[in-house]
Structure 1
């Protein structure tokens, strides 16, 4: 590299400022031989000539288009390179990234809505899936009451990725469990029996996959609400008189069999 005076070219700092490129990047490009300064002062400082700057400008342009340094080197140094073809390929990659980002944006919007609203279904969709007696304000009330809890966040994360068809599958599973509970009660199945315990476990697993992880202690607390909360009691007793109490007793009996005292169980 020829020696020169400071007036023969631009220093690394000057080029960094002019091109908006970091000094570190310029040093790296020099080290890998992508863009080396043609001159050096007697003191050893790098100096970039007009030709060097022209190459640097091209590197910056291609880098801003998203090409990696290896591809840029080929474009600049290999005269046989199909530059339009390389740029078309890069454009296709950019289009794919844009599409992924758009999908990500939609997903983020749904996640925000799910955390704020819970159920991402229209009133008409809710009625079609959960029945005409469904209260569309139920989730707004739940958000107000439980919105700061870990369970609401877990529920929202699941709700954000569910389609109406997914919710229909959840509703069908719950309806199937309700029918099984009625059949067991009508058949004289007693709380604490293997049959009743199996239904309690089925409920816990279904709730866990549909809403949020439900521990046995939490299930006991939920069972109390099935019997005492007017909305829950109306649901179960509306299916079969006395079902809310039978199901709560079955949950309590199952809890005892697993070492949990239902009288002291807490939401944890």
Structure 2
């Protein structure tokens, strides 16, 4: 039976805005949109959303997920087997970290002695451990194309991104709707469209919501200043709303 977007969001435990954003970027589009504008999701949509969320649990970026699930060689059952394998490995690593925390507490209490090596057991700083499995399963092209977008960014473009974040962080105590904030957020909108492809105002607003819905976004952005992700989310939403009028 078809589900409305709110029903699906409540079932899964994600926000309606996240589902809207997935639709906006072509990652997960509803089976049908009624004349009155209701998004209706089919059982097949639910299966694909499950796949997407499994990929997200393994820290795969949305652009790479889209490339993979759109590949002609993508196999849902094989993907599930790979998800299972990688989640088991992830659980094993977390068990090691929990054990290290437990030992560290005992060490601090003087109950045991830890070697320096033991203090760091369970940490894994390997870059994107799922990537190699993705290459094996769906080929190099999808992964390489996604990585190239990031790696191909010029130093000037990287500096421009950093400069805008720094500017926004410096004014985050102001109202997101203020003239100063809106001028700075327009710079961000222009930067995205210049360096990362065409962003509609709706997509821009959705991206801002992802900054607070996804803790990985929040953590990275808030490195420039606590609360910056929330500030940008509100500023981007106001910018989109005002400029659509």
TM-score bin (small chain): 0.3 to 0.5
Greater relative contact order structure (CA < 8 Å, 6+ sep):
2
Asked which structure has the greater CA Rg, the reply is 1
TM-score (norm. length: structure 2): 0.40
TM-score (norm. length: structure 1): 0.37
